[in-house]
Homo-oligomer: A and B are copies of this chain.
Amino acid sequence: MNKPIRIALLGLGTVGGGVYKLLSMRAQEMPQIAGAPIEISHILVRNANKERPGVDAALLTDNWQDIVSDPEVSIVVELMGGMEPAHTYISEALAAGKNVVTANKDLMAVHGGELLDLAEQHHCDLQFEAAVAGAIPIIRPLKQCLAGNEISEIMGIVNGTTNYILTRMTQDGMEFDDALAMATELGYAEADPTADIEGYDAGRKMAIMASIAFHSRVTFEQVYTEGITNIHATDIRYAKEMGKAIKLLGVACNTPEGIEVRVHPMLIPDSHPLATVNDAFNAVFVHGDALDDAMFMGRGAGEMPTASAVTGDIIDTARNLLMGCTGRIGCTCYKELPVKAIDDIKSKYFIRLRVEDRPGVLAGVSGVLGNNGVSISQVIQKASKGGSSDLVVITDTVRERHIRDALTILRSMSMVRDIASVIRVY
């Protein structure tokens, strides 16, 4: 039998705990699964003296030097999250010739290129399947199974918290605040939910996937993000009337003018496979020139689903170690494509206005849209209380800057009491 492969876990929170548990569950079979036993030799924690039931206390350390200077450690598994000290530790591990597995999307979405270069210099693996969409295999499929494709589009529901909130708003008619409170109570939302509800978390995942799919580095700062805090139950009801669902979608397209990459709420037809992805589930939809359409669905977060992805990477790295081929697949960004500004992107829009309830209003609104080159594809007008109507318009495809100009004029008109919502339409 091959001698054990020694790994160090950095962090023992939800994900770290899950990986510890899963490796223990599979320990007996690991020689057959990975080719050698996989032994955790260190666990880096902030407080090595805190009691942790079920965890071998002898493995705990609060000293990174114990790990990086131990020549027996061949895989460092970073599960602390955030930028520092994760960035430093991963860089030092790679520089010391250690392979790295990480679930850190924040870090990979900003410093992915630099870290992958460092891994390549030292012939090390840097694997990060768990950084995008939890348990769903997507990094490896994009880098390997679909490598023969020119991928033109990726669309994803890649944040479980917001998908849970929108599902409650859709299925139970809840308003955003109540659905968020429920998500928090059930542990789907963190104490500070900003990164989720503002679309930053999804934006990081889209940066990582766009980089791989289009072979060109995209960083988080280049992703346009818009969250779901302005979505109302009313919008969802009108969308439903029009045969559509509202989802927080990440969209990445490779166009002849450059890469589009953005996260925002979007109306999609009820018949689209992503429309049926509910609750905390994630899904990634991919279009490639040979592949045509494919979709990958599963759990995007949580202790054991994330541990599934991390453990898959550990096993793959172990196999590479045993075959002497670590660094087998490094950075796949060999192009330098421009990223388009959001103003240059074209979309259809759902616009919900509260207007005066009198004749001529529809003509006035549609006139302003028409003058700005925005044509209308669908309209619903409904009287509501207090002498005002709801006017809901879905436009044809229009450039982002034109819709903004039209909205500015509409906002100044006396017949328009309020522009309640502006949401993109697939």
Contact = CB atoms under 8 A, between A and B. Distances in A.
Q: How many copies does the complex hold?
A: 2
Contact of A307 (B32, B290, B320): B290
Interface string A15-45: 0001000110110010011100000000000
B290 A294 contact: no
A290 B311 CA distance: 10
A294 B146 contact: no
Interface string A240-274: 00000000000000000000000000000000010
A288 B276 contact: no
Contacts of A146: 137, 308, 312
- For chain A, the bracket of interface size reads 35 or more
Given A137-B137, A307-B290, A145 B325 contact: no
Interface stretch (A71-79, A200-208, A296-304, A407-415): A296-304
Nearest to A334: B32
B308 A290 contact: yes
Contacts of A273: 276, 297
A387 to B, nearest CB: 42
Contact of A291 (B149, B298, B315): B298
Contacts of A311: 147-148, 290
A140 interface: yes
Interface in A133-170: 135-137, 140-141, 144-150
A295 to B, nearest CB: 4
